[in-house]
Amino acid sequence: MKETDFINQNKKKWAQFERMSKQNQSDPDELSDLFIEITDDLAYARTHYSKRSVKVYLNSLAQKSFHGIYKNKRTPFSAFIQFWTTSLPLEMYRIRKALLASFVVFAVGMLIGMVSTMDDPDFLGAVIGYEYVHMTEQNIVNGEPMSVYGNNGGEMYSFISIAQNNLRVTLMAFVLGIFFSVGSAIYMFFNGIMVGAFQWFFKVRGLLLTSFLTIWVHGAFEISGIVIAGAAGITLGNGFMFPGTLTRMQSLSIAAKRGIKVIIGLFPVILFAAFIEGFASRHTEWPDFIKGGIIFLSFTIMVFYFVVYPYIVANKRNFNGRVTEKPTFVEKKTFELYKVRGVGGVFTDTFVFYRKFFHYFSKIYWFIFPATIIYIAWFFYQYPYGGTINNWYENMSIAFSIGNSAFRWETFSVLTFLFSLNVTSIFFSFTIAKRQEKPINFTKAFFTYTLKNLWRVVPIIGGALLLAQVDIWLIFLACFIMPLVLSLSFPGAFENRTLFIGIGRGLSIGTRGWASGLGVFFVFLFILGLIFFFAVGPVQDLIIMVLDWFLISTTDDYFLIMNIVEACLYMLIAHFIVPIFFIAFNVLYLSTVEKEEAYGLFEKLKRFGKGSKIHEDEGVF
């Protein structure tokens, strides 16, 4: 490249750096990025223009960049201060349109809640539950309309329980945004309906001012925080839907980091709202001017910090709101069948395989999911307690046929077949990985493979389901033999061995890798258990909220339908999670084989010298 072309290509960047170096409040992170680019240019100039003035200029520029970075190097405390004074306000400025959308949706929902309560006095009961409405009416009759805020135990207990609930609601408002932003919007809409209906409920009874001065003492922080969390959720969904020039995962990763930054900023707000509700809202005897002053001050703080101050910071820094994050380069991970791995390596490669081959083994879900929904609906209609008020454990017990009262052989048979079909599809995906090519006729190949190997998996799945019927301590003890049990069916299917030879092979390799298998089992049991319950929570609450709206006053089978939906959700998530266990132990089996027999190494030695004559490809040796 000619020197003039080199200068013309980079002079705008150099000029930008010179302007930033003259500002005392330059962001050290931006200076660090510029330093890398400037040093790259300097290295190029030293190579191609070693005796030209551009090299001297860039050397001087690099020195300025270096001193700027270490002059403004942030300490942990200064980073903490900068987060609250600069980073978070700028992020709020960037999501200002999402914040407006979240507020509008909430306000519309609130208005609809008010109008609906005006038209139908029983509307509030359909939204928040008739028991709560009856309790509130009884408190009004007793002359203590707001005593609900003082009947939740002691102040500290109230604070802890309210904080836990508020944080859950905030996280849900954010996480639900992954459903194309609509999830957060729906959540805002229904929360707005509840607030509007509840407020108008007191208006009809001549208690609007009393309720307003009590509810919004803590609601100014709490409701504002939830609306902002909804904006973070919309930002998350927009990152997934509108990736621009980035890949969808890169865009989602950036949007998630931005949203998490906002949620972190909301934690003190939500905790302070819980503190006020636990320690202050219960004091309904306080004078109105004190409560009104707290509400006014709370709204002033929220509006100033999260709306006005971001504009001040953005204007001061000439910030245009454009996304400046660069996607983090992540080296594409390849999956190698035969490789010695520790527990950490098994963990990593399990999810690498899951992501890489998901489009193969997930095809069976087109059959499994409809079949699961049909069988659960049928079973709950047949079960004596299917239409009663059940908790999550009762619904899960019925769905998975756990316990003497819930166990039925027909349900057990369907469950065994569907989960065995799921696991067999995992084995088939490992066969594809082994052959390194997709079958020409995928459906025919999978059907043939299933007929040949499904029976290997059925005893393992059936035995696990039967084990769930016995004492919990026996289940705990059985965990210690799971590394052997989960290794019994794969060797025969993967290596095309007969039944007893395959089982013997699995026992032999499983015994030698038992210690590692035990670690893998408990690590995945803990992590996947957390995933199960955290994945169920937000989705379940959103579905129940929507169904409540349409079902509670329109059908006599409300509890039956809700139980069926909840059980289907548990079962479908289980079908996503169970394969991970088998992938993990298949990976562990292949790792142990490589460690004990060096099968993969010998295969590479056989291929050595058959690749390029110039060099050996890394995938060959």
Question: According to the model, what pLDDT value does residue 235 have?
Answer: 94
Rounded to the nearest 10°, the torsion over CA 128, 129, 132, 137 is: 90
Kindly state the DSSP code that residue 331 receives in the 8-state scheme. Answer: P
Confidence class for position 325, pLDDT limits 50, 70, 90: low
By the 8 A CB rule, do 117 and 201 touch?
yes
Higher pLDDT, 358 or 597: 358
- The 10 Å CB-count burial string (b at 16+, else e) for 413-439 is ebbbbbbbbbbbbbbbbbbbbeeeeeb
Question: According to the model, what pLDDT value does residue 280 have?
Answer: 78
Question: According to the model, what pLDDT value does residue 472 have?
Answer: 56
Question: According to the model, what pLDDT value does residue 511 have?
Answer: 85
Higher pLDDT, 497 or 145: 497
| H or E element in which residue 80 lies | helix 76-82
Question: According to the model, what pLDDT value does residue 619 have?
Answer: 41
Mean pLDDT for the stretch of residues 121-141 = 76
By the 8 A CB rule, do 130 and 212 touch?
no
Across 19-28, 94-103, 321-330, 542-551, the highest mean pLDDT is recorded for 94-103
Distance CA 27, CA 68 (A): 10
By the 8 A CB rule, do 586 and 430 touch?
yes
Question: According to the model, what pLDDT value does residue 201 have?
Answer: 87
Confidence class for position 103, pLDDT limits 50, 70, 90: very high
- Residue tagged 């607030």 (tokens): 195
Question: According to the model, what pLDDT value does residue 539 have?
Answer: 67
Q: How many CB atoms lie within 10 A of CB 67?
A: 12
By the 8 A CB rule, do 599 and 609 touch?
no
Cβ contacts of residue 323 below 8 Å, gap of 6+? 94, 254
Question: According to the model, what pLDDT value does residue 613 have?
Answer: 45
Cβ contacts of residue 570 below 8 Å, gap of 6+? 392, 395, 396, 399, 400, 536
pTM over cut 0.75: no
Whether 357 shows a pLDDT value over 60: the answer reads yes
Lowest-confidence segment of 32-36, 244-248, 370-374 by average pLDDT: 32-36
Tokens representing 506 are 């699995």
Question: According to the model, what pLDDT value does residue 107 have?
Answer: 95
The rounded radius of gyration (Å) of the Cα atoms in the chain is 31
In this prediction, what percent of the chain has a pLDDT beyond 90? 22
Question: According to the model, what pLDDT value does residue 550 have?
Answer: 64
Confidence class for position 615, pLDDT limits 50, 70, 90: very low
Kindly state the DSSP code that residue 153 receives in the 8-state scheme. Answer: S
CA-to-CA separations, 405 to 31, 388, 448, in angstroms, rounded: 67, 15, 38
What 3-state class would DSSP assign to 127?
helix
Lowest-confidence segment of 33-37, 51-55, 146-150 by average pLDDT: 146-150
Question: According to the model, what pLDDT value does residue 617 have?
Answer: 44
Distance CA 191, CA 572 (A): 27
Question: According to the model, what pLDDT value does residue 618 have?
Answer: 42
Whether 11 shows a pLDDT value over 90: the answer reads no
Higher pLDDT, 311 or 598: 311
What 3-state class would DSSP assign to 47?
helix
Q: What tens digit of pLDDT does each residue of 175-233 get?
A: 889 888 998 999 999 899 989 988 888 888 888 888 888 888 888 999 999 999 999 99
